[in-house]
Structure 1
Amino acid sequence: MHKSIEIEEKIFQDAVKFYGTVFNIPPLASKIYAYLLFDYDKVGIPFDEFVEVFSASKSSVSTSISLLLNAELVIDHNKMDERKRYFFINDGYKKIRFEKIVQKMKDELKLLDDLDRFKKNHNGYDEKIEAYKALLNKNIINIQESLNKL
């Protein structure tokens, strides 16, 4: 089997490291994700290609792909005339990722508000917390405006 796509090794290695950390995924899953980034024409990468390119067992590749599918980082589909599944980067994940970030910031804001109310009852006020809350609110608004453009 030949590679369906051309990759640049340095960029690939940087992507493996970056996405492994950002998504908190194991090394093989990170390699699969990084490899899919180079599928610019969206032809899809079959399972067997991952096994061959990464010299990994079918079980390990299957586990990593399942993790990526469950995390919504990749999607798959079957071509009409083949049994093979082809895998692609989930372009919708960018929006999902930032929606999760916004939700975490909103959750933190609620927690800070609860702590602030409690603290005010105990004669405490912290200007730094207010500045931090303002920063969170500003970032939530900026991200939501950008998400609306996606």
Structure 2
Amino acid sequence: MIEIDKEIFREMVKFYGEAFHLPPLAAKIYAYLIFDFDRKGVSFDEFVDIFAASKSSVSSNLNLLLNLNIIKDFNKIDERKRFFVMNEKYMKIRFQEIIEKMDRELLILENLKKFRNTKCEVALQKFDIYTDLFNKNISNIKETLDQL
């Protein structure tokens, strides 16, 4: 069993549940896996015991997390059991998706600007400020991802 801090765990469950739009059990599983600092993995049966949840609930929530690429599974050579760990590449995947969304929004805004075809300096200045903010954030995220 992994040692956790219950207060931090509760805070993480709430945060990740909201941030990733996860059901409560999936958020608990993910938060619990974050405490697996040695990345030894947690088995299916351990999750059933730890959270006193049905096998079907644990199974469906693990599958959700796997499908979202938030966690990964693996088998140990000497065991048939599957073990689950958090996907260390997930943050990179998540921020890459954020960049893609910001790029798409910039394209939409540019098309809207062309369609509107305004000469209003105030509107054009606001547009430039908004697009500059997007571009700076995209650049900052890309630079940080390159460092990971």
TM-score under structure 2 normalisation? 0.95
Query: How far apart in 1 are the matches of 2:34 and 2:141?
Result: 23
Measured on the aligned residues, the alpha-carbon RMSD in Å equals 1.0
Give the counterpart letter for 2:33 in structure 1. Answer: L
Aligned to 1:10: 7
- Partners in 1 of 2:30 and 2:15 — Cα distance? 11
Distance in 1 separating the partners of 2:60 and 2:33: 16
Question: 1: distance between equivalents of 2:109 and 2:120?
Answer: 13
Matching residue within 91, 98, 101 for 1:101? 98
Q: Secondary structure of 2:72's match?
A: strand
Structure 2 alignment gaps of length 5 or more:
none
Q: Which residue does the alignment assign to 2:147?
A: 149
- Read off the aligned partner of 1:12 and give its amino acid letter: F
Relative distance call for 1:76 and 1:64 in structure 2 (3 A) is: same
Pairing of 1:55-134 with structure 2 (within 5 A): 55-120=52-117, 123=119, 126=123, 127-134=125-132
- Looking at structure 1, the residues matched to 113 and 82 of structure 2 have their Cα atoms a distance apart, in angstroms, of 52
Q: CA deviation at 1:128?
A: 1.4
Q: What are the superposed Cα offsets for residues 44-85 of structure 1, whole Å, 9 maximum, x if unpaired? A: 000011101111000000000000000000000001111100
Structure 1 ranges of 4+ moved more than 2 A: 122-125
Q: CA deviation at 1:130?
A: 1.6
Q: Percent identity?
A: 53
Q: Does 1:22 align with 2:25?
A: no
1:123 is displaced (CA, Å) by 4.9
Q: Secondary structure of the residue that 1:35 maps to in structure 2? A: helix
SS in 1 for 2:73: strand
Between the aligned partners of 1:138 and 1:41, the Cα distance in structure 2 is 36
Number of equivalenced pairs: 146
